[in-house]
């Protein structure tokens, strides 16, 4: 899966690594490193010093996952699928599931 086929808000499934099998929503894409940050997946612990805004401690946050280890979930197939692009009559370019030909983009 390449990063140009993924967007913020997409549902994905982790295909490899310690979090294999988990699903979640993309919170952020990092194109220069070819990575994404997924909600509630690949949690890491950061030690935070106290500052004027709040107290310190150990904070859990999401770590980045390489795009080669994730797959886009199709709403109809409910499986990780490959994506192709299709141009509508109106000229709009949308993403389509290769298995069921269902549009992945909403709208």
For 31-55, what is the mean pLDDT? 94
pLDDT at res. 15: 95
Q: Is 103 exposed, middle or buried (0-12, 13-18, 19+ CB in 10 A)?
A: middle
- What is the pLDDT averaged over residues 51-63? 92
Residue 90 neighbours by CB under 8 Å, 6+ apart? none
What is the pLDDT, as a whole number, of residue 54? 85
Question: 1-26 burial, b if ≥16 CB within 10 A, otherwise e?
Answer: bebeebeeebbbbbeeeebeeebbeb
CB 8 within 8 A of CB 28: yes
Query: According to the model, what pLDDT value does residue 77 have?
Result: 85
Q: Is the separation of the CB atoms in 67 and 6 below 8 Å?
A: yes
Its CATH class, for the domain covering 3-73, is: mainly beta
Q: Are 42 and 62 in contact (CB under 8 A)?
A: yes
Q: What is the pLDDT of residue 4?
A: 78
Domain extents in the chain: 3-73, 81-107
* pTM confidence score: 0.85
Note the pLDDT of residue 41: 95
Give pLDDT tens digits for 87-106.
Answer: 989 988 899 999 998 888 75
Is the pLDDT at 50 greater than 70, yes or no?
yes
């Amino acid at each position: 899966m390449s990063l140009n086929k993924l967007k913020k808000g997409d549902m994905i499934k982790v295909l490899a690594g310690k979090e294999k099998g988990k699903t979640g929503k993309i919170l952020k894409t990092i194109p220069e490193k070819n990575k994404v940050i997924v909600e509630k997946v690949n949690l890491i612990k950061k030690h935070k010093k106290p500052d004027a805004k709040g107290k310190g401690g150990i904070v859990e946050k999401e770590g980045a996952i390489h795009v080669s280890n994730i797959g886009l979930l199709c709403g109809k197939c409910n499986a990780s699928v490959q994506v192709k692009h299709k141009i509508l009559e109106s000229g709009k370019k949308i993403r389509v599931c290769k298995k069921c030909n269902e549009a992945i983009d909403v709208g």
